[in-house]
Amino acid sequence: MWRIVLTAAAAVLSLQYGQAWSADADVLYRTHCAACHGADRLGGTGPALLPGNLERLRKPAAITTIAEGRIATQMPAFKDKLNEEEIKALADFVYTPLPSMPAWGMAEMRASRIEHRSAASLGDKPVFKADPLNLFVVVELGDHHATILDGDKLEPITRFPTRYALHGGPKFSPDGRYVYFASRDGWIAKYDIWNLALVAEIRAGINTRNLAVSSDGRFVMVANYLPHTLVALDAKDLQPIKVIDVRDDNGKSSRVSAIYDAAPRKSFVAALKDIPEVWEIPYDDKAEPIFNGMVHDYKMGEGLAVKGPFPVRRIVLEDYLDDFFFDSRYDHLIGSSREGKGQVVNLNIRRKITDIELPGMPHLGSGISWELDGRPIMATPNLKDGLVTVIDMKTWKTIKQVKTLGPGFFMRSHENTPYAWVDVFNGTKDRDVIQILDKNKLEVVAQLRPSPGKVAAHTEFSRDGKYALVSIWENDGALVIYDAQTLKEVKRLPMRKPSGKYNVYNKITRSAGTSH
Ligand code: DHE
């Protein structure tokens, strides 16, 4: 019965808005897509499915995506469940504009904000005995919780519920006391680790990418897919300070691929998904907006000139950036598009300085760097090919493509270990393996299978590099802790699909072996 009602309602809507999709598309969407992409198509664990968000995906490619699934994402293939006509109807449906787009500006954000604890009610010493810098925050996607783990005793201190579907690395305040989380549906949460207490939450977007915390601890900047905005929050209490409309000179708006804090530059750096530009946004109070080297009084939104906090310095490129990585001084940004084109952008002279060979769809957000024979090098796993690409960061040439058992997602190391650990779970086989690369020989020298048959993913090291923690990425999963030198298992803690884990010290000191 409900199917008939829904179908009839969809037909009425379809006629009302003159849309191209058939009534059944609405039902198909609710049955197969809504759980991940949201009943309203505004995104959930999967991205929003709206014409504005699908600009870089032409309709034939969307049809292939629905049929075959999408590499490096949780998007499954539907060709065994849906016939060609149904797949086409769904593609038409997602390219149809919504009758009206929900607004998510200052007013909506302010109304969503929850202050759980006032600063005055929180003590300024840790309420536990463990080393506050050798803690791990472990995100458990299975039941949307996070665990705070003592990195010396390797025991959980507390476990608490999080918002639904956290994604990207949680980011720490410079002293390591607070951690900030972002969920795919836009919720930003501030948690006081010393007091084991949630401080505040705000919904900063409808479909959010990630967040960055300024190196002076004053600001949180949120990158959104929907709306096309960057949102600056006060790191103290998550009050919204400014919404930056993300548009080019012609008014074309864009999703934000990701935002990072470039600490030595005292600025945030954002890459845009639908406009080939990188934006640098200084949080130094005296900064001026600059456009390709010129001070630029640039217009955005309703045509307001942007002065004051968070001026935008724009660098125009020839190609989009989906994923990127920085050198240790944040002079260079190494970026790639999902199509596999790599480029190096010098942030000081504000232009691309060279193209770079990155064929296997690198996951640069997971790249790491170290010194080889006195030269800085970077290494990145690839989402499409079973390769770790190693690049000389002086010449920007590929030194080696190290063959792995399959395409990987995350690569991690530590200053005190000669090894880099890489997972290979983005392929179809050997997804339970972690491979160990020798950082000097640039060869795979060992492999671990922590739970045969179960996906093994994402490594993070303890503060001193003594232990390496690996996730068993299953609902009845675990954190498997290895001695990083002997590669022997030390301990196993049951967890619910632990995804990323983040060591406070390694993050706030910007260890070259991990993401920042
Ligand atoms: Fe992530 C980090 C992009 C899919 C788990 N992922 C990041 C970051 C980016 C990114 C830009 C760095 C943000 C940061 O740390 O602030 N991720 C993407 C994608 O474009 C991609 C391929 C498609 C998408 O759905 O958005 C993608 N990511 C996934 C997953 O399917 C994963 C495996 C499961 C999930 O949670 O959705 C996943 N991504 C992660 C994790 C990190 C991450 C655990 C943080 C790693 C770290 O150590 O910092």
Cα 167 to ligand 1 centre (Å): 6
Q: What is the C-alpha radius of gyration for the chain, rounded to an integer number of angstroms?
A: 23
Amino acid at 211: L
- The 10 Å CB-count burial string (b at 16+, else e) for 461-494 is bbbbbbbbbbbbbbeebbbbbbebeebeeeeebe
Q: Does residue 366 contact residue 381 with C-beta atoms inside 8 Å?
A: yes
Calpha distance 188→177 (Å, rounded):
16
> What is the pLDDT at residue 294?
43
182: left (phi over 0), alpha (psi -120 to 50) or beta: beta
Mutate to test the pocket of ligand 1, among 167, 185, 273, 502 (most ligand atoms within 8 A of CB): 167
Q: Quickly tell me which residue has 């920007």 as its tokens.
A: 396
Q: Is 280 exposed, middle or buried (0-12, 13-18, 19+ CB in 10 A)?
A: buried
Calpha distance 53→438 (Å, rounded):
41
Residue 332 backbone phi and psi in degrees, to 5? -125, 145
Q: Residue 264 gets which letter from DSSP?
A: G
* Pocket flag, ligand 1, residue 511 (CB < 6 Å): no
Calculate ∠ Cα 462-433-402, nearest 5°: 90
Give the chain's domain count: 1
Q: Quickly tell me which residue has 């390709």 as its tokens.
A: 292
Task: Give domain status of residue 26, yes or no.
Answer: yes
Task: Give domain status of residue 133, yes or no.
Answer: no
Q: What residue's CA is closest to ligand 1, atom 49?
A: 169
Q: Which domain holds residue 43?
A: 2-94
Task: Give domain status of residue 213, yes or no.
Answer: no
Cα 424 to ligand 1 centre (Å): 15
Q: What is the CATH number of the domain that holds 33?
A: 1.10.760.10
Calpha distance 468→460 (Å, rounded):
6
Going residue by residue through the chain, which has 516 residues, state the pLDDT in tens, using 9 for 90 and above.
333 333 344 444 443 433 445 558 989 999 999 999 999 998 888 888 888 778 778 898 899 999 999 876 788 999 999 999 999 999 998 988 888 888 999 999 999 999 999 989 999 999 999 999 999 999 999 999 999 999 999 999 999 999 988 998 999 999 999 999 999 989 999 999 999 999 999 999 999 999 999 999 999 999 999 999 999 999 999 999 999 999 998 999 999 999 999 999 999 999 999 999 999 999 987 665 554 444 444 443 333 334 457 889 999 998 888 888 999 899 999 988 777 778 999 999 999 999 988 877 777 778 899 999 999 999 999 888 899 999 999 999 999 999 999 999 999 999 999 999 999 999 899 999 999 999 999 999 999 999 999 999 999 999 999 999 999 999 999 999 999 999 999 999 999 999 999 999 999 999 999 988
Q: Does residue 206 contact residue 227 with C-beta atoms inside 8 Å?
A: yes
Neighbours of 116 (CB within 10 A): 14
Task: Give domain status of residue 44, yes or no.
Answer: yes
* Pocket flag, ligand 1, residue 389 (CB < 6 Å): no
* Pocket flag, ligand 1, residue 138 (CB < 6 Å): no
Residue 291: which of 306, 301, 304 has the closest Cα? 306
Q: State which H helix or E strand residue 346 sits in.
A: strand 341-346
> What is the pLDDT at residue 97?
87
Q: Does residue 400 contact residue 444 with C-beta atoms inside 8 Å?
A: no
- First-to-last alpha carbon distance for the chain, in angstroms, is 51
Atom of ligand 1 nearest to the CA of 323: 11
Task: Give domain status of residue 412, yes or no.
Answer: no
Task: Give domain status of residue 276, yes or no.
Answer: no
Task: Give domain status of residue 385, yes or no.
Answer: no
Tokens of residue 451, six digits: 């739970």
Task: Give domain status of residue 21, yes or no.
Answer: yes
Atom of ligand 1 nearest to the CA of 75: 25
Calpha distance 21→78 (Å, rounded):
18
* Pocket flag, ligand 1, residue 75 (CB < 6 Å): no
Widest CA span in the chain: 71
Q: pTM score, two decimals?
A: 0.88
